Structure 1
């Protein structure tokens, strides 16, 4: 059974959604995610956003008698990195598809 994807093209039974619209040989999600420009931007975002969120969420523990949760602090930095990377990669991949039409 074949299913149409977002662009209306038909996918084969073993195809992955979204893969049919990506030109053969073009970079995939992880290729973009590892590119220096995306990593550089994500690191800048995480340094600013992660630090602000850590100060908001754990300020009492940092400047008072409470304990800092290293797990929460790690997540506070990891989530903005992942969100920034996902947004940048999604934008880059969408730019590739219209150029092929």
Structure 2
């Protein structure tokens, strides 16, 4: 298992802001951002942090379980600094 860590952002959609906020709190040490519905009819929660490459599958399972528990739809994630990545400096929560 690799111990190398990379920045990684998980994406999840929620029917309302309150459920997205509760999920963000439950994600603990993730940097989170919540965005109002724009091109999708649901609230977007971005949750990012550095993740060990060898632990990606387990991390996906953990985050998906937390998102589901709060009524959200988990949409996977992406590695690296991407447009909308909550770990980018200067990003403000909606």
User: Which band: TM-score by shorter chain?
Assistant: under 0.3
Higher strand share: 2
Q: TM-score, normalised by structure 2?
A: 0.27
Larger radius of gyration: 1
Higher relative contact order (CA 8 A, sep 6+): 2
Q: Normalization by structure 1: what TM-score?
A: 0.26
Higher helix share: 1
